[in-house]
Amino acid sequence: MQREQISVFDIFKIGVGPSSSHTLGPWRAAQQFIATLREKDALAEVDQIKILLYGSLAKTGVGHGTDIAILLGLYGADPVTFDVNAIDATIEEIKTYGQLSLNGEQNISFNYSEDLVFLFLESLPFHPNAVTFQAFLSTGKAISETYYSIGGGFVVKEGEQGSDKEQVDLPFPVEKASELLHWCLSTGLKVSEVVMENELAWRSEIETRKGIMQHFYVMRDCTYRGCHTSGFLPGGLNVGRRAAALNKRLIGNNTYTNYESWIEAIRHGGNSFNYILDWVSCFALAVNEENASFGRVVTAPTNGAAGVIPAVLQYYVVFCDGFSDEKITQFIACASEIGSIFKKGATISAAMGGCQAEIGVSSAMAAAALTECLGGSQRQVLMAAEIAMEHHLGLTCDPIGGLVQIPCIERNTMGAIKAITASQLALQSNPDKAKVSLDAVVNTMWETALDMNSKYKETSDGGLATNIPISLPEC
């Protein structure tokens, strides 16, 4: 049986909000379908494209920007590099003129209301997040492919088994936390060091470190931008952005001109409990307000939970003397391994497991990374991850209006604070006396996901989504 091999750059991906499974995944699926058409020399023969959205992708697709992402993917835009400020204009042009340029090469007529179909009452068995692309050719033939967005930006094409990434010989293969601990104890390596050794199977250490720092720069810029952007979030809920006002209030009279001087200004404000608590919340709010506004973020491991790890990392950078490339790389590498264990043993998709699969996993990742960076042992690192997830078990995903705003944005602040608390508990505890292992909590999370009613899995059919009266504009 082929083992799933997950790199740090599989868990952490640069993309565009608001959702990794509903935005980034469908975007990548559309790109893959275009690639298929090119491989079959059929792109120039396409007369019409139809897109069928199933299950959760249909029910919360508009609120999560699934329609926008798919059109941009077919258009040839890449989520890593496309100018997020051009998204609205690009989509409006497609809708207004009824024309879609496939990969910038083949212009076809496209009717948004007819060629993009939301099948609210239909779901495919493999995964709730399914999209089918149908290309009708001038020859009279048709090409159809179905993709599943399985969480965190991971995409599986129907008929394929998991990732198509080439298998490599990893020096330390890990499926479960017990295997990770075995490698750590037998070699004396930290979790982050095990990760860095495994990454050598794909690329040089220099390339890995450079890539990790590029991901940090996106997190950094997103946090800074979110702390300095006010106004209201898109989508019709009229949710006001709070991070900028909170940043201004906390900074007071301290001045700064860039990210580095901003850090110094924050430090100048002191280190009282309330002050630090407010800043951690501010960091998390900033990232997820950017995410909700179709900003550029890093899946960590998802977009809906994209604020937890940057908030805890920013806490480490500002208040724990973690502002160095080496320490930042250590933090992100360690976090990635915990995320991959949850991906392999359970899920990181809210459509499969509720919000425990997103905020819960991100909190566990952040707790483990912070614990290692603060000098915790390998056992304490795994203990911190377990504590963080244990207290997110059963968390539902019930976005109001299908938007990644309420309760998603505030949940990132909760996940970040729980991560720091879990880390502190682990650092002050003897893990040999722990009653619950990380593997046990991963298994429990998966069992909980299977038992959870589907209306609590990113459908907006239950929970807050049905108990808060709202009036959204027509789509």
* pLDDT tens digits, one per residue of 155-199: 999 988 655 567 899 999 999 999 999 999 999 999 999 999 999
Which one, of 139, 147, 138, lies nearest residue 73 by Cα?
147
Do 402 and 448 share a domain, yes or no?
yes
Residue 404 lies in a domain: yes
Tell which of 99, 124, 157 closes a domain: 157
Structure confidence by residue, pLDDT tens digits, 318-373: 999 999 999 999 999 999 999 999 999 999 999 999 999 999 999 999 999 999 99
What is the 8-class DSSP label of residue 473? Answer: P
Q: What pLDDT score was predicted for residue 3?
A: 80
Provide the pLDDT for residue 470. 77
pLDDT beyond 50 at 283: yes
| Domain termination site, one of 157, 186, 210 | 157
What rounded mean pLDDT belongs to the chain?
95
CA–CA distance, 295 with 18 (Å, rounded to integer): 8
351 and 402 in a single domain? The answer is yes
pLDDT interval class at 1 (50, 70, 90) = very low
Per-residue pLDDT, averaged over 206-235, amounts to 98
Structural domain contains residue 172: no
63 and 194 housed in the same domain: no
**Residue 136 lies inside a defined structural domain of this protein:** yes
Residues 271, 314, single domain; the answer is: yes
300 — pLDDT class (breaks 50, 70, 90): very high
Residues 189, 75 within the same domain: no
Phi then psi for residue 17, to 5 deg, are -70, 175
Specify whether 393 is located in the same domain as 453: yes
Band (pLDDT 50/70/90 cuts) for residue 57 is very high
For 456-460, what is the mean pLDDT? 93
More confident residue, 123 or 411: 411
Cα(229)–Cα(91) distance, integer angstroms: 23
Would you say residue 295 lies in a domain? yes
Flag whether 145 is in a domain.
yes
Structural domain that includes position 423: 177-467
- The answer on 262 and 347 residing in a single domain is yes
b/e 416-440 (16+ beta carbons within 10 angstroms → b): bbbbbbbbbbbbebebeebeebbbe
Return the percentage of the chain with pLDDT > 70, whole number.
97
| Cβ(8)–Cβ(208) below 8 Å | yes
Q: What is the pTM of this model?
A: 0.93
Mean pLDDT calculated for residue range 257-273: 97
Looking at the structure, do residues 285 and 352 belong to the same domain, yes or no? Answer: yes
Residues 109, 244 within the same domain: no
CATH number at residue 43: 3.30.1330.90
pLDDT band of 472, cuts 50, 70, 90: low
What pLDDT was estimated at residue 306? 97
Amino acid at 318: V
Please check whether residue 171 lies inside any domain of the structure.
no
Residue 474: pLDDT band by 50, 70, 90 thresholds? very low
Q: Are residues 189 and 77 in the same domain?
A: no
Section 230-249 average pLDDT:
96
Domains held by the chain: number = 2
| pLDDT given for residue 475 in this prediction | 37
Please indicate, yes or no, whether residues 47 and 119 belong to a single structural domain of this protein.
yes
Say whether both 311 and 430 belong to one domain. yes
